[in-house]
Structure 1
Amino acid sequence: MKITNFAVKNYQFTLIIFLLVAVVGVLTLFTMPRSEDPTTHPPQYIITVIYPGTSPKDMEEQVVKPIENKIYGLENIEKILTTVEDGVAVIQPKFKYGVDVDNKYQEISTEINALKNSELPKDIYLIKTEKVSSSDVKILQVALVSDNASGKLLRDKADILKTRLEKITNLKDVKYFGMPEQEIRIDMQLDKLAQLKIPLNVVIGSLQSEAADIPGGSINLDSKIFNVKTSGKFKTVDDVANTVIYNANGKIIYLKDVADVSYKDAIADHITRLNGHRCVLVTAGMKDNVNIASVQKEFLPVLDEFSKSLPENIRLVKNFDQANMVSERLGHLGFDFGLAIVLVIITLLPLGFRASLIVMISIPLSLALGLIAMNLLGYSLNQLSIVGLVVALGLLVDDSIVVVENIERWLREGHSRMDAILKGTQQIGIAVVGCTATLVIAFLPLAFLPDMAGEFIRSLPMAVMTSVLASMIVALTLVPFLGSRMLKTHTHGEGNFFLKHLQRFLTWSYARVMPLAL
């Protein structure tokens, strides 16, 4: 084959190219993005609307329906899932797979901005549109555990840790939860309101009329809860307590005269425990196309330093670290790689140590070339691509073994080394290409699976196909080149000690079994 002739006769060029492949392959292994799962970008979005003090019915009529109507007018819309609560609406449009995710995001943002200037209420507190991505999954979860620290202290410490983690550029969406937030609570004294003949709606109206810039909350009155929408500038509890709710004939009534105003923990909507102990959980996600091992090296020192600053009654526990799971899977790949090397040595003993060494060299170079191709195609190291590489380990040695064995056969038949290299490789070159093509075709259906399932699993068949194609290139170029430098001619046609005894054993076995079979 021409490619084999070129590789053998221009050995300096071949050597430099494969040394370069080895170096770039090692660099790629350490620098290419790593994550537990493949990065996917489904055509789904989350539109969050915060409109404090609005009931679910009003939110649906004034906010949700106008937004949904606009989104339904966009092309390729599949469905919209909407959740509405007091003062909050979450709208999740999903488009048909295959649309341009970024362009569709711009279309949604344009429609939302147009609505804000026309149909939507002017005093909406927040409208936020976000893309859905597989990187939204948290890669880190730590717990601040304490059975006796106050809720405020745990919240304060969690907030400090959150601030420090947010300074790490490759982390995103750092949050903490598990302790109820503090809120200003207004407990109305009904007897005083009745005595002063002040209607409850006057109190609510007074709070609404103050110039606040904080989201509203609610007023608890026995078994009823009244939504309050504020747009003023309350800064402290005293500001709220000193709100004038009634002023007639020179008589000023403050909120504190008819209600107890205090800072209290909000009603807990969930409780967090770690091994039965009270805790606050701090979580963080990772940005797209980032090496999780590098990110771990950035946040571990932050966690260690923060842990040392905690009081004795609070301890930091690293509950989940996705980087460890990714490293463990890569460790399994390394073990399988070592096992493949050992099996090659044992299997090729009949052909001699030199032939075994050539195949041993071809394995890491095939993997390196496969990794380079995967990185150039935009794939990351994740649990599926690692599985693909493990599967490929059992396939990528085949081409090199077949080529080396045929060259050795030509050498045992008395041909010169150069003739054995060129003619032996040429003799089975088409068969090697055909075998590789068959393997690639077998994995093509997985690579072309449609929709979300296809995007998620695609890194597995791509890892197999790139590695197998790389092994074919190595078998037809590097293996003949190494054979021309390392293999030697044989003085007898029976081969070495192992091959002679293996052939005798096989001959004896067939002689015993064949009469029974016939």
Structure 2
Amino acid sequence: MFNLFYRNRQLLGLTLTLIIVWGLSALFTLPRMEDPEITQRNAQVVTFLPGATPERVESLVTEPLEDELFELEEVDSLESTSGTGISIISIELKESIRNVDPVWSKVRSKIDDAVPDLPPEASDPEYQENLPSASALIVGLTWELPGEPNYLILGRLAEGLEDTLRSLPGTDKVERFGNPDEEIRVEITASELTRLGLTAQTLSQQIAASDAKVSAGQIQGDRSEFLLEVNSSFESLERIRNIPIQVGADGATTRLGNVAQISQGVQEPATNLAYVNGYPAVVVSATVESDYRVDTWAEVARTALTEMEANLSDGLGLHIVLDQSRYVQQRLNGVIGNLMLSSLLVIGVSLLVRVRSAAS
């Protein structure tokens, strides 16, 4: 077969041309990422039961969840830790499972099935994926004005940036960090509670009862069933101020706003904070789908960031903390350089051998 290429130079040239074309086509079309995609085979389920001892957490939370999860034949092992007020269950799937997405859907369904068996004071089980993935882009929105940062403004801007990145073709997941949760504060003095004959707990219970999410009925059809719910959500501070509070033993009522101060702000103390270049910030990170070119995605993303930065007010900044496409391009340039050097060495050695053969 090799003699055929030596005798027919046109066939040899055509074959080499096809190999080069296929190689260049693969070079410009194959996905480019810094790290390979890893199949998710581990996850955690975290549930809180405030104030409960490890023994109560084990019997009331951990065991009901484990009983449901053990029904899945795809689960290889379960490891649980029950501490004071918290239950952590680690799940590992069997290595023989190739398509893991349907299995994790079953796991989430089993977790939901176990919720009615948990104590009312327990939090909803939180499913956490243990999938290490490198961010394609990390961007920080910074507050560069003197004084305390306004996280409400940074949070709104981060939400807009999050929506922008999520709408780009090839985006897999977008997350936000360093944005403290908002909260509504109800502040009342101890003397006022005593005058009204209330305690902090009873006042909290009355407020919670005003926002109860209870079913008001259901509509059944041939193929579907719909639950009806009374709209009792707190849509504004004014609605919270108008909550009726029962005071005293005679059944008298008053508005919550008459006895307490209602305000909205950032949760204190903050559960997480972020700083970029020494400034308070809210950080947004994005990952790219495994079958997409990260350099192509990053080019479009940088264009969107430039447009957003141009519309920011004075004292607000936008900084790229990490751009994975630059590292990928550096590694790709290194691979191309090595390939070219290897090709030149092969050609050089071949010419040297041919020259020596001709001389002899």
TM class, shorter-length: 0.7 to 0.9
Distance 1:83 1:8 in 2: 74
Query: Residue type of the partner of 1:24?
Result: W
- What's the counterpart of residue 404 of structure 1? none
Deviation at 1:61, TM superposition (A): 5.3
Deviation at 1:246, TM superposition (A): 0.5
Q: Deviations over 1:399-448 (max 9, x none)?
A: xxxxxxxxx8xxx4xxxxxxxxxxxxxxxxxxxxxxxxxxxxxxxxxxxx
Deviation at 1:200, TM superposition (A): 3.3
Q: Deviations over 1:470-518 (max 9, x none)?
A: xxxxxxxxxxxxxxxxxxxx4xx52xxxxxxxxxxxxxxxxxxxxxxxx
- What's the counterpart of residue 281 of structure 1? 283
In the alignment, structure 1 residue 306 sits paired with structure 2 residue 300: no
Distance 1:34 1:11 in 2: 36
Q: What aligned pairs does 1:452-491 form with structure 2 within 5 A after superposition? A: 490=358
What SS does the aligned partner of 1:185 have? strand
In the alignment, structure 1 residue 251 sits paired with structure 2 residue 252: yes
Deviation at 1:166, TM superposition (A): 1.3
Deviation at 1:328, TM superposition (A): 0.6
Aligned counterpart for 1:25 among listed residues 5, 8, 23: 23
Distance 1:8 1:165 in 2: 55
What SS does the aligned partner of 1:25 have? helix
Deviation at 1:321, TM superposition (A): 0.8
Deviation at 1:325, TM superposition (A): 0.6
8 A contact 2:242–2:256 mirrored in 1: yes
- What's the counterpart of residue 69 of structure 1? 67
Distance 1:305 1:246 in 2: 53
8 A contact 1:67–1:112 mirrored in 2: yes
Residues paired across the two proteins, number: 333
Distance 1:159 1:178 in 2: 12
8 A contact 1:56–1:84 mirrored in 2: no
Distance 1:115 1:253 in 2: 40
Q: Deviations over 1:45-101 (max 9, x none)?
A: 34466x8xx526387655443112322454452333568897x86643123433343
Under a length normalisation based on structure 1, what TM-score does the superposition of the two structures give? 0.56
Distance 1:210 1:158 in 2: 32
Highest CA radius of gyration, 1 or 2?
1
Q: 1:276 to 1:31 in 2, by over 3 A?
A: same
Under a length normalisation based on structure 2, what TM-score does the superposition of the two structures give? 0.78
In the alignment, structure 1 residue 80 sits paired with structure 2 residue 82: no
Deviation at 1:329, TM superposition (A): 0.6
Q: 1:126 to 1:55 in 2, by over 3 A?
A: closer
Bigger CA drift: 337-346 or 237-246?
337-346
Distance 1:280 1:120 in 2: 35
- What's the counterpart of residue 373 of structure 1? none
Distance 1:266 1:146 in 2: 18
- What's the counterpart of residue 137 of structure 2? 140
Query: Residue type of the partner of 1:171?
Result: T
More helix by share: 1
Q: What aligned pairs does 1:327-406 form with structure 2 within 5 A after superposition? A: 327-352=329-354
Aligned counterpart for 1:295 among listed residues 269, 273, 297: 297
Deviation at 1:171, TM superposition (A): 1.6
Q: 1:310 to 1:91 in 2, by over 3 A?
A: farther
Query: Residue type of the partner of 1:137?
Result: A
Deviation at 1:128, TM superposition (A): 6.4
Distance 1:188 1:321 in 2: 48
Deviation at 1:243, TM superposition (A): 1.4
- What stretches of structure 2 of length at least 5 have no aligned partner? 214-230
Q: Deviations over 1:126-160 (max 9, x none)?
A: 666565444x3322111112231632222221121
- What's the counterpart of residue 45 of structure 1? 43
Deviation at 1:120, TM superposition (A): 4.7
Distance 2:182 2:278 in 1: 24
- What's the counterpart of residue 165 of structure 1? 165
- What's the counterpart of residue 375 of structure 1? none
Identity %: 22
Distance 1:127 1:115 in 2: 9
Distance 1:104 1:92 in 2: 15
8 A contact 1:105–1:131 mirrored in 2: no
Deviation at 1:291, TM superposition (A): 1.6
Deviation at 1:208, TM superposition (A): 2.1
What SS does the aligned partner of 1:138 have? coil
Query: Residue type of the partner of 1:104?
Result: V
